[in-house]
Amino acid sequence: VIIKKSADAASIAAARVVARLVQEKPTAVLGLATGSTPLKLYKELIRMHREEDLDFSRVTTFNLDEYIGLEKTHAQSYYHFMHENLFNHIHVKPENIHIPDGMAPDVAASCAAYEQQVADAGGIDLQILGIGSDGHVGFNEPTSSFTSRTRIKTLTRQTVEDNARFFGGAEHQVPRHCITMGIGTIMEARMNLLLAFGERKATAVAESVEGAVSAMMPASVLQHHPNAKLFLDEAAASAL
């Protein structure tokens, strides 16, 4: 557990871990996350790409999750988010970018294919995670099985409320369903970096780090991961 004075400092520290991996293994497979939490981390990776020639041209990426029913062009789709905030700025080969398809006609088949793509890429070297205020990772809401794979999930009321701010505050505009990598998928990543900032995350962080390992607090499963690092600001660490 790495606690920094500010979210920016924690994000920069996490970006250094990502950069070190990409330098050592230019073909690294990165698992990526959305939400407000990783924004500064992505900004720092873009800065390193521009100013320090950090090369992403051979990396492969897999995103954790996507809303069901939003077109790629929708301003709140995670496809759009990733291009806006990272891919439009660092030159990852388009064919190496993987984001679950929220418009797939056959969701189950699309999820199985996604798992196969992860396996074909050799597994995920480093997975970036945020945490929901209810302890979700990806969109693995409380009660998600620790052996779950990429699949459809229903968002909890709390997550719909939390994410309404991205939809102009309108809860009815937030999709109710999503595709998310499973907890089993996430646990197979060789390294997990979870970032959490702000007081709103303090309880979920404390329960995940110091509480019982429980499907009611999905991020607590990381206690069983051999190489998981949590990057926190002081507010997110305040209940530890």
Q: Which residues bind ligand GLP (CB under 6 A)?
A: 33-37, 64-65, 130-132, 138-139, 159, 163
Q: Residue 196: helix, strand or coil by DSSP?
A: strand
Note if 74 is an active site residue. Answer: no
Which helix or strand (DSSP H or E) is residue 228 part of?
A: strand 228-233
Compare residues 55 and 142 and give the one whose CB is closer to ligand GLP: 142
Please, what is the minimum distance in Å from the beta carbon of residue 58 to ligand GLP? 25
Q: Which of 44, 66, 125, 141 is catalytic?
A: 141
C-beta nearest to ligand GLP: residue: 130
DSSP code for 86 = I
Per the annotation, the verdict on 171 as an active-site residue is: no
To the query of whether residue 120 is one of the catalytic residues in this protein, the response is no
Catalytic pick from 44, 49, 65, 66?
65
Spatial neighbors of 19 by CB under 8 A, at least 6 apart, are 45, 48, 52, 54
**CA dist 120 → 73, 148, 187, 233 (Å):** 28, 19, 17, 36
Single out the residue of 117, 123, 31 nearest to residue 82, CA to CA: 31
Active site residue 134: yes
Considering 125, 136, 162, 233, which one is annotated as catalytic? 136
Name which of 59 and 236 has its Cβ closer to ligand GLP. 236
Active-site residue numbers? 65, 134, 136, 141
